[in-house]
Amino acid sequence: MDVVRIFDTTLRDGEQSPGFSMNTAEKIRVAHQLAALNVDVIEAGFPISSRGDLEAVRRVAQEIRSVPIAALARARKDDVMAAVEALEPAVSPRLHIFLATSDLHLKVKLNMTREQALDSIGAMIRLGRQHIGEVEFSAEDAGRTDIDFLCKVCGVAVEAGATVLNLPDTVGYAVPEEYAEMFRIVRESLGDTQGITLSAHCHDDLGMAVANSLAAIRAGVRQIECTINGIGERAGNAALEEVVVALAVRKESFGVTTGINLEQLFPASRLLSEITGALVAPNKAVVGANAFAHEAGIHQDGIIKNPLTYEIMSPQMVGVPKRSLVLGKHSGRNALRESLRDLGYEPTDVELGEVYKRVTALADEAKQVRSRDLVAIAHEVLRRRSTLTAEATSAA
């Protein structure tokens, strides 16, 4: 089975987004968790952006010895040399060079012709290869680049020595079928792609980053660039946890696997939230608080009988300690009985009915019943049994 490599850019693209900046110590903590997750590459930063970021990349490269470390650079000599300096301690360094290739970016942002772009791409990749063995090239805004020119860009990058070609949907504009078709055309243009890895980097502006990444895999892409919790510029990047779990759950459909330690997904998500202070939405796939929580009585009954009725993966598979049966106005008696048993109570059917009536009345007012509320209700209802038993014993 083919392996899809996971290129994590939480510490670079993710950290660039508002509210997610991390200091060096925090980057190192996240990097260690990414190593435990067993990602294939950690993109540690953008060294030219500041001396502090350069030093942070160096520290990550010094600390993390089991995972290749990448650093980003524009197709400029100063950028490339700053990244080379930052990666000097790395056991397996990767230089990641990028240049925008869409006509919009070339004209408006870079004031550069297509020919100048091709010259710059070739020259900077060759410069990088003089210092670092593995160079990845990204064609920024590839999704809106003229396809014939994009094919020419990829050919120049490969000829100059790039072994990874990343074609990003930089602004989240693509839809799955056209993003996949772009990769098919580029593969056909390159011909023999042995030794060349095609990579996808998707943004979520239209909510399709994960779908586009999965479509790219079907088109032959074997590296996905993504972030923990889907953080990143604007609406974020493809969420690592969603991509890898989709590939695991639907393995027969995609025919690929990853080396990710799935049980470390939830710890990674929680660590990032702790460091950044940004909690994930409760309904977030895989790692959200409600991902394995069930309130509807029909769902709760199914889960109690067989979790497969309403869960396509177990919480333990992704590192979530356990599922939760939430007590609310939609809950059923079976879930209530299970919750009472977890608290040490074994109600009769009559007692269960009384507890159920009180719980639903409380839920109508409070929306959700907490464990301490349930304990109070159960204690009051079941205390009657104890009182009657004591009175009967006394009378005897």
Question: Do 228 and 343 share a domain, yes or no?
Answer: no
Band the pLDDT of 395: cuts 50, 70, 90.
low
Question: Do 222 and 324 share a domain, yes or no?
Answer: no
Write the pLDDT tens digit of every residue in 52-74: 999 999 999 999 999 999 999 99
DSSP state of 143: G
Question: Do 267 and 347 share a domain, yes or no?
Answer: no
Write the pLDDT tens digit of every residue in 231-280: 999 999 999 999 999 999 999 999 999 999 999 999 999 999 999 999 99
Question: Do 76 and 172 share a domain, yes or no?
Answer: yes
Question: Do 91 and 223 share a domain, yes or no?
Answer: yes
Amino acid 383: pLDDT: 78
Question: Do 251 and 375 share a domain, yes or no?
Answer: no
Q: Is the pLDDT of residue 325 over 90?
A: no
3-state secondary structure 247-307: HHHCHHHHCEECCCCHHHHHHHHHHHHHHHCCCCCCCCCCCCCCCCEECCHHHHHHHHHCH
Q: Is the pLDDT of residue 388 over 70?
A: no
Who wins on pLDDT, 5 or 192? 5
Longest Cα–Cα distance of the chain, Å, equals 103
Average pLDDT, the chain: 94
Domain final residue, candidates 246, 276, 306? 276
314 inside domain: yes
Question: Do 82 and 205 share a domain, yes or no?
Answer: yes
Question: Do 157 and 262 share a domain, yes or no?
Answer: yes
- pTM of the predicted model as reported, rounded to 2 decimal places: 0.90
Who wins on pLDDT, 324 or 236? 236
Question: Do 151 and 247 share a domain, yes or no?
Answer: yes
Question: Do 100 and 245 share a domain, yes or no?
Answer: yes
Total number of domains in the chain:
2
Cα gap 360→358, rounded to integer Å: 6
Q: Is the pLDDT of residue 393 over 60?
A: no
288 inside domain: no
Amino acid 386: pLDDT: 54
Question: Do 257 and 299 share a domain, yes or no?
Answer: no
Band the pLDDT of 394: cuts 50, 70, 90.
low
DSSP state of 40: S
- Across the range 102-125, mean pLDDT stands at 98
Amino acid 142: pLDDT: 98
Which secondary structure element, helix H or strand E, spans residue 79, and what is its range?
Answer: helix 77-87
Question: Do 237 and 380 share a domain, yes or no?
Answer: no
Lowest mean per-residue pLDDT among 131-145, 225-239, 324-338: 324-338
Q: Is the pLDDT of residue 396 over 80?
A: no
DSSP state of 191: -
126 inside domain: yes
Amino acid 374: pLDDT: 87
Backbone angles phi, psi at 360, to 5 degrees: -65, -35
Write the pLDDT tens digit of every residue in 312-323: 999 999 999 999
Amino acid 331: pLDDT: 84
Amino acid 307: pLDDT: 93
Domain that residue 340 falls in: 294-392
Identity at 389, one-letter amino acid code = T
- DSSP states of 112-136: --HHHHHHHHHHHHHHHHTT-S-EE
261 inside domain: yes
Amino acid 326: pLDDT: 82
Q: Is the pLDDT of residue 169 over 60?
A: yes
Backbone angles phi, psi at 310, to 5 degrees: -135, 10
Band the pLDDT of 387: cuts 50, 70, 90.
low
Considering just the CA atoms, what is the radius of gyration of the chain in Å? 27
- For residue 138, what is the domain's CATH number? 3.20.20.70
Cα gap 291→283, rounded to integer Å: 6
Q: Is the pLDDT of residue 391 over 80?
A: no
* Angle between helix 209-218 and 176-190 (nearest 10): 40
